[in-house]
Every structure is written in C-alpha cells, then in structure tokens.
C-alpha cells in the first residue's frame, strides 16, 4: 500500500467513513473503458420522484409464470454533482410494505457504474452489479446465489423519454445463453405540482434510532496520526463539513463528508444500515475517487457509546480496526479510530474528531486531540 494512498484514506476515516483497507482495491483500467466517453452523467435521467409499478416473478427459473405486483414511489437524489445517487423505493403489495434502496456510484477510471442494493428487512448490502450505458440503454452484470446455486444476474435500464423509463432484472443458469426476467419496474415521473404521498414509517426496532443524534449539518476538526503502528507521535490536522440525513425512518442514514487537507479537496460517503434481526449497524464507506464501497465495519451502541469493528489489510498485514462514537450529543460529539496488531489486546488511536453543529458558532479545534 503506497504511503500517498494511505494519506488520502486517512483523510476519509472521519466518522467511521473509511476502514483501513479501503485503498486496497484500486480502480481498474482497460483500453475499452478509456475508449468510452465519460459516463458520469449517465444516470441523470433517474433524478427526481417517480410513480413505480413493480412486477416480481414468484418462482424464478422454475418454468412458472405467476407474478406479484407492487405500486409505490421512488425518490432519487444526486450526490457529487451526479457521480453518485441514492434511490429510495417504497411500494405496497398484497403481501405488505417493501422498502428498498439503491446506491449508484460512478468509477471514473473504469468509466463504469456500480449499483448496490439493500432492503430494510435485512440492512445488508448486496454485491454490486457493474455496467455502463450505450445511448438510452444500460446493462449491468453480477453473480449471486439463488436457492443455493450460483446464477448470473443482468440488469437492464431502458430510457424511453425524459419522464418514463424501466428497469428489468434477469437470471441465467446456463452461463448467459438464455435469460429469464424476474423483476420489472416501470417508472413515470411525478407531474409538476402533484402531491407526493409521504412515506409511511415501517418498524420501530430497538436500536434503529441510534444515529438520530447525528442527523443534520456539522463542522468537524480532525487530527490524524501520520504513521499508525510505527511508534509515530506526529499528528496532522484537517477540517471539513459533514451532512447526515435520515433514511427509512432511522433504519439507515447517509453521511456526506467534504474536507480540505494536505491532499486537497476530498469527498466521501458513509451509508449506515441497521440490521433489525441482529440489532447491529454497518458502516459502509466510499470515496468519490473510486466508486466502490469498502468492506463494512459492524457494531452497535451500548450505554451511549458506539463501537464498530472490521479486519483490514494495512502495510501488507491483517489488523483489526475499531471506530468509536463517543460523547454523543445533539450539539457536539467526538469520535476516534484505533488499530490493533495483536488481535485486540492493545489498541493505538490514530484518528480523533471533534464536531459541532454547523449552526453553532465557534471553533471545534480546541476540543480535538492534538498530542
């Protein structure tokens, strides 16, 4: 891992946004990718609020043709000037309420998009499908398990007008020779002035509001240990802003960080997802530079403190990473990251943050850790 890349990563670890191995995955490059035009605005058609009619095949790859139907609302908001989007899906069917979310991320090096999906019942992000657009059609591919068997997955976006488009998901169990559609969504844009039906809260599991204290806008001062796990005592300051907004009635939230430091202007996202079965949260980090989520940090809040853990590669070795939210308050808070090279017996703090509400005047630097 190159030192320069690590410095960029450390500028992102604020608020648990970047576990230690986030820079291990370097964006791919290929002649085919370079030949395509910049596709960073391919999903601009998707921005807005939409009526959706969804059909799902009851038993894919069975030869049967019975479908379920849902109707609802899709809301899509852009991030990073369109290089990322968050799509919230709410739909009703005879079987009940469905809440889904898709995060679209552009990889500028590969000139491809990744789309990550999750639903509020699991709070677990699926592996992404990857692809690009040619004119008004986008094709995305991935692999997943269906009833214990590996199948290929294809997603097709078709843009028919500025106010209508569709998405179809297909399965293939013969290596892509044939495909069967199992999910079809037709979307029509809400008309100007048309009232949008408010999303109805679903669920109220213990723990799903653990991040409510952090919702809103913050000014943040950061202190970064320059060389973790090397006996270093030299710290570097950074400053930035953080915006946190609620999703799914608190069972998810999205934090956007914008910071200036030695490496220049940096932008990051942290999608926090609540698992209502495990009563745990995951922190899922991505930077605008590569468009790929790192492995999640998993944890929970206990007695006013949130601790999240992951195993990550650092300087060629596997280490444990911990991120802790401390001193939780609606007006100010602190948090820190630590690494352990001995299986959690000892921890070295390498990142400390102090935050204040953006509406609160005054500097937060005095509250930061600056050894």
Please write the tens of the pLDDT for every residue from 20-36: 444 333 444 444 444 45
Percentage, residues of the chain above pLDDT 90: 72
pLDDT at 371 over 80: no
CATH class given for the domain over 3-27+203-367:
mainly beta
- Going by C-alpha positions, the residue among 253, 287, 244, 256 that lies closest to residue 273 is 253
Q: CA torsion 38→105→338→216, rounded to 10°?
A: 110
CATH class given for the domain over 31-189:
mainly beta
Rounded mean pLDDT of 241-266?
Answer: 89
pLDDT of residue 38: 85
Strand segments, DSSP code E, in the chain are 48-57, 67-79, 84-93, 96-107, 112-119, 129-134, 137-146, 149-161, 164-172, 180-189, 216-225, 235-247, 252-261, 264-275, 280-287, 297-302, 305-314, 317-326, 332-340, 348-357
Rounded mean pLDDT of 238-251?
Answer: 92
Question: Residue 177: beta bridge partners?
Answer: none
Q: How far, CA to CA in Å, does 227 sit from each of 201, 309, 342, 345, 359?
A: 45, 20, 17, 20, 34
pLDDT of residue 310: 97
Model confidence band, residue 201 (pLDDT cutoffs 50, 70, 90): low
Name which of 3-17, 90-104, 133-147, 284-298 the model is least confident about.
3-17
| Full-model pTM | 0.84
pLDDT of residue 360: 55
pLDDT of residue 261: 76
Domain ranges of the chain: 3-27+203-367, 31-189
pLDDT digits (tens, 9 = 90+) for 309-350: 999 999 999 999 999 999 888 788 899 999 999 999 999 999
pLDDT of residue 34: 45
Burial label, 226 (beta-carbon count in 10 A; 0-12, 13-18, 19+): middle
Asked if the domains at 3-27+203-367 and 31-189 fall in one CATH topology, the answer is yes
pLDDT at 365 over 60: no
Grouping H, G, I as helix, E, B as strand and the rest as coil, residue 361 is coil
Task: Name the average pLDDT for the chain.
Answer: 87
């Amino acid at each position: 891992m190159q030192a320069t890349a690590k410095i960029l990563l450390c500028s992102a670890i604020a608020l648990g946004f970047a576990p230690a191995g986030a820079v291990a995955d370097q964006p791919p490059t290929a002649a085919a990718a370079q030949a395509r035009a910049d596709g960073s605005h391919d999903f601009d058609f998707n921005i807005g609020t939409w009526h959706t009619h969804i059909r799902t095949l009851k038993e894919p790859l069975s030869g049967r043709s019975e479908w379920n139907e849902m109707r609802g609302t899709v809301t899509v908001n852009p991030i990073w000037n369109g290089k990322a989007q968050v799509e919230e899906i709410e739909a009703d069917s005879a079987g009940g309420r469905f809440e889904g979310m898709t995060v679209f991320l552009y990889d500028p090096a590969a000139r491809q998009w990744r789309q990550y999906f999750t639903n509020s019942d699991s709070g677990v992000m699926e592996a992404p499908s990857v692809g690009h657009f040619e004119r008004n059609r986008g094709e995305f591919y991935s692999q997943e398990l269906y009833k214990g068997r590996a199948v290929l997955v294809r997603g097709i976006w078709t843009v028919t007008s500025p106010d209508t488009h569709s998405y179809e998901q297909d399965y293939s169990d013969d290596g892509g020779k044939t495909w069967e559609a199992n999910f079809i969504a037709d979307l029509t844009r809400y008309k100007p002035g048309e009232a949008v039906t408010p999303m109805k809260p679903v669920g109220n599991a213990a723990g799903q509001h653990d991040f409510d204290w952090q919702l809103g806008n913050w000014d943040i001062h950061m202190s970064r240990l320059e060389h973790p796990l090397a006996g270093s005592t030299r710290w570097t300051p950074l400053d930035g802003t953080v915006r946190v907004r609620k999703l799914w009635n608190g069972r998810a939230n999205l934090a956007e960080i914008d910071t200036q430091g030695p490496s220049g202007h940096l932008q990051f996202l942290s999608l926090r997802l609540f698992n209502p079965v495990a009563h745990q949260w995951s922190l899922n980090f991505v930077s605008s530079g590569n468009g790929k989520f790192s492995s999640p940090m998993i944890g929970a809040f206990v007695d006013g403190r949130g601790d999240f853990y992951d195993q990550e590669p650092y300087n060629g070795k596997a280490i444990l990473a911990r991120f802790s939210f401390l001193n939780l308050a609606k007006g100010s808070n602190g948090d820190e990251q630590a690494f352990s090279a001995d299986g959690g017996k000892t921890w070295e703090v390498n990142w400390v943050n102090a935050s204040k509400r953006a509406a609160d005047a005054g500097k937060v630097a005095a509250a930061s850790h600056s050894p």
